[in-house]
Structure 1
Amino acid sequence: MCTKDWYGIFSTALHKECFTQGEIQQIYKIEMEARTFFDFGGIVPDFLILQNIERDSKKIRYYWDSRSSEAMCPFCGMMSNKECKDYFDKPLQDIPQGGLAVYHVVRRKKYFCENLNCPHTRFVERLDGFGEETARKTIRFKKYCVERALENGCKPAEDALKRDGALVSNDSIARYLKVESAKQIESNLKRNDVRVLAIDDINLRKGDKSTGCTVLIDEETHRVLLIIRGTTKEAAKKAIEMFPSAEFLSRDRASSYASAATECGKTQIADRFHLIKNAHATVEEALNSRRERLGSSHAV
């Protein structure tokens, strides 16, 4: 597998044009700064400097060095400017480009913690907003996987991403999806502006009532707020109580939901779907009855 690097190609080309080594270094620095701005502006932390790019038939690797002069200890929150003479290299996979997997190989600095009460004497600077400490993927790559999974499912997302060049499994995509869902639910539970709740039940497996779940939706925005196991009155009541700001509850004719709403003191309204469904059923019943009467009179 042939690997080519940006600096090698760049410096060779400028040597042929009779540039000195000093001029090549200066031009190359400007080139890397320009590529950082246009390709990763607002994505990578400002203290990272692009050093080189390598490419083979399957991957592109961007090599970054840290130019930070201080960092916050993630364990106690104290800032430190006492650098260790040590580094930590970590590759992070990013969104694929041109059918190739993309990796950022980041050389991060280590610092001494200046807080004498902190149990950690040294720490590695963090890449906030770019990649979590223990992750092997960038934050935006995980979000990209989640978006693809929401469109078609985890396995189709895996297949599509692999066709694009990424290296990721559907199990990993499912984990990213669960984490994002948990964050969304946590955010939903902190809301105090939900006025009208809609409640209904679903089965995780079609026709299997043992997999029944209760779903709560913001009726005014039509966004899913919460899904919990169970369709009993107790389960519904527990879910409804998580949104004390809601005044109204839209529901079907399920007695468990009606009882839960009553005990939670919510004004209950029939949801539009079941109102229309009941209206259609009433009209159909009336038409069938009329047909039967007309058929009987013709027979006489």
Structure 2
Amino acid sequence: MSIRFLVIPHIQISHANAMQAWWLMAPPSPMTVQGFVRAMGLKCGFHHKSVALALHDVQWLTQEKGNRHFVVVDDANVRFWNHKVLPQQPQGATYIDGQDHIQSSFAKGLQPTARCHAEMSVVVDIGESPLNLRLVNDFLWSARIGGGAITEHGEPCVCASTEEALKKIGGGFWIMDRADLALQKMQEDRLSGVEAVISVLGENARHRYHYSRLPEQKRGELPKPKSWLSANLVGFAALEDPKQRIGVREDVLHAYAEPLVGLIQYRSIRAEKRIPFWQYHTAPNGVYLMKGN
């Protein structure tokens, strides 16, 4: 079976959603890019096996409050310089069957929003699926990623090797799946998934801080901290069975769902020397999940 990658380099995205969960701000996620590629495949007539995404740049459109402050994160008084980040704007929620407003009131609920500009490259493993690059270019003209408009992009191309694809992308950071670290923490400390993700991020941040303050000759005595760990949206879990609702586009079935947040790592493209793909998986209990290789 031949190797064929569709590469769309350096996509400029304007005003993309950055509120991946009610408690998490992050750039466009693996789940977001999967939806973008799925829509492209349906419009352009190709099937894909997996997707990879590289982040080149991100600009947050939130507000930063003027009074900066230190945040104490442990008993050893390890402190990190921080900003107070405020949501970009409050936005009224919309009615679906009149059931999502504030209880005992007709006032619409307010919800925070946050957006960002981003520059990303996308690699799609299309295998032997037929592909018309003209249709891909036509799709990109009006496509969106995470609700953000695509304002510019490099020339889409088909590559027959990993090396060729990497040359088209250049520098940047792969977004990689690190569910292995979260699962290990869940087993060791009997934590829930969210607790494990937060625990890994906190412990690694403290380790990086102490590691950076050690003399060069003593750093070899400790394991090197992992770089650029973060969290992002990797799937959804349905809260109910899909049903028909008024106001849903194209009359498709609708179900309320909650976001699934996973541990990720930003890793230099030049350091990784491979393409870390994400594949989507579905489960009978209404779970739609992205997993990395």
Q: Whose strand fraction is larger, Structure 1's or Structure 2's?
A: 2
With normalisation by structure 1, the TM-score equals 0.21
With normalisation by structure 2, the TM-score equals 0.21
Q: Which has the higher contact order (CA 8 A, sep 6+)?
A: 2
When Rg is computed on C-alpha atoms for both structures, the one with the higher figure is 1
